[in-house]
Copies of this chain bind each other. A is one copy, B any other.
Amino acid sequence: MSEATKRKPATLSDVASAVGVAPMTVSRVISGNGYVSDEMREKVMEAVKRLNYRRNGVARNLKRQKTETVGLVIGDISNPYSTELANAVRESLSAHGYNLFICISEHSAKEDISAFDSLVDHNVDGIIVATRSNQEGNERLAEIADSNVAVVVVGRDFQHPSVDSISTDNFTGGFEATQHLIDLGHKRIGFIGAAFENRKNLKRLQGYLSALTKHEIPVDERLITGGRESLTGVPGYSTESIGYESMKRLLSLPNRPTAIFARNDFTAVGAMTAVNEAGLQIPKDLAIVGFDDTPLALHTMPALTTVRQPMRIQGQLASEMLLGRIKSRDVQDPIKRVLDCELIIRESTVTLR
C-alpha cells in the first residue's frame, strides 16, 4: 500500500505557468523585491499555497552568490561554555537575519577539516571557529580565509592577515587561579586536566606554571596530570572521569598536594568526588579551583571556586566581527581582542563567613 513516489516540489516556473505570468513576477512576489500589483500578488500567493511551493534556497544562493548563513565549528559540545557561545552567536546573527549552522568537531584535525569543508561546500558567508588549534586544521583554514569566506576564530591560536580573533586571557585566568591558591598559603598545588607535555597548547597550564615560578615554588611534574590525550599533541576534552582518575592518582602520592587547579569545572567535579571518597574535607584538607563557571559550579558541595569567561560577549563580538567582514569585501587588518577572565571565589577554596 505504499508504491506512490513523492512528487517533485513545485518550482517558480510551475507557479508562473499556473498563474499564466512570467517566472520573474512570481520571483518578485516571493522575494518582495520590485513592483507587483496587489491583485497579481494575491493570485500568485494563491497558486503558491495551492502548489505548496517553496523557494529553492540552493538555486537562490547560487544566483545571489551569498547564503546569509554562517557556520560555527565547536568541539567539546558538552561544555556549557560552548553552548553559551553558540547561543550568543545565534542570537546575534539572527538579529541580523543570518542563519547559523553548527558543526561539531570533537576529536581531531580531520573532523575540523571535514566540518570546514562541509560549510564551505554550502557556501556559508562566514565561519566562526572555536575548536582547539591544530596544524592541519589551521592549514585548511588559511586556504579558506584566502578565498572568499570570512573567518573569525574564538579562543584559538590562528594567525592570518584577514582573520579576526577573539579570546579570553586563559593565561592570566590560570595565573590568578593559582595565585589565589598560593595566597591561601598552599605550596603543593596540583594541576588536573592535561599532561605537562601539553603545556605549549594550554594557556591555563602555562598560567599555572608561571604563577608557581613567580612565587618560587618549584614545579613538580608529578603534580600535573591529565588524560591520555598526550598522544595526539592536542589536549582533548576533559571530563569528570579524567578528573576523578587524576585526583585518585594525586592522592596516592607520598606527598600529596594540598590544592588543585583543575582545567575545567567538569574535571574539578570529578576531582571532588575522589577527594570526598578519600574522606578528605574541601577546602580544609584540599582546596579546588575550576575553570569556566558552568551553572554546575554553584551546585557542587561545596560550591566551586572557578574562573569565569565572558562567553556571551565573545559570541556577540565574534558575530559582529564576522558580519563586518562579510559586508565589507575590503581586506582589512586583523583585529585581535583578548577579554579578561574573572576569578569567582566560592567555598571550595575558602571557608566563608
Contact = CB atoms under 8 A, between A and B. Distances in A.
A78 B83 contact: yes
Q: How many copies does the complex hold?
A: 2
A331 interface: yes
A91 to B, nearest CB: 10
Nearest to A60: B121
Given A69-B118, A86-B77, A295-B240, A123 B56 contact: yes
Contacts of A333: 1-2
Interface string A318-329: 000000000001
B100 A100 contact: no
Contacts of A69: 118, 122
Interface stretch (A29-37, A142-150, A200-208, A337-345): A142-150
Given A7-B148, A58-B58, A269-B296, 7 more contacts: A2-B331, A57-B121, A57-B122, A69-B118, A78-B80, A101-B122, A273-B301
A83 B82 CA distance: 11
A9 to B, nearest CB: 5
A1 B330 CA distance: 10
Given A4-B330, A58-B62, A58-B123, A147 B296 contact: no
B148 A9 contact: yes
A17 interface: no
Interface of A: 1-9, 52, 54-62, 67, 69, 77-78, 80, 83, 86-87, 90, 94, 99-104, 106, 114, 118, 120-123, 143, 146-148, 162, 239-241, 244, 266, 269-270, 272-273, 276, 295-296, 298-299, 301, 329-333
Contacts of A241: 295
A62 B122 CA distance: 11
B104 A101 contact: no
Contacts of A77: 77, 83, 86-87
Given A78-B80, A100-B103, A54 B120 contact: yes
A272 B162 CA distance: 49
Contact of A102 (B8, B101, B240, B298): B101
B5 A57 contact: no
A162 to B, nearest CB: 8
Q: List 3 A-B pairs, minimum CB-CB distance, nearest first.
A: A57-B121, A99-B118, A101-B101
A54 B123 CA distance: 11
A275 to B, nearest CB: 10
B106 A87 contact: yes
A74 to B, nearest CB: 10
13 contacts: A2-B332, A5-B329, A6-B147, A54-B147, A56-B62, A69-B122, A86-B104, A94-B114, A101-B102, A102-B104, A239-B295, A266-B295, A301-B301
Contacts of A87: 77, 104, 106
A102 to B, nearest CB: 4
Contacts of A118: 69, 99, 101
Contacts of A301: 272-273, 276, 301
A146 B52 contact: yes
A301 B69 CA distance: 44
A121 B55 contact: yes
Nearest to A57: B121
Given A56-B123, A120-B57, A330 B2 contact: yes
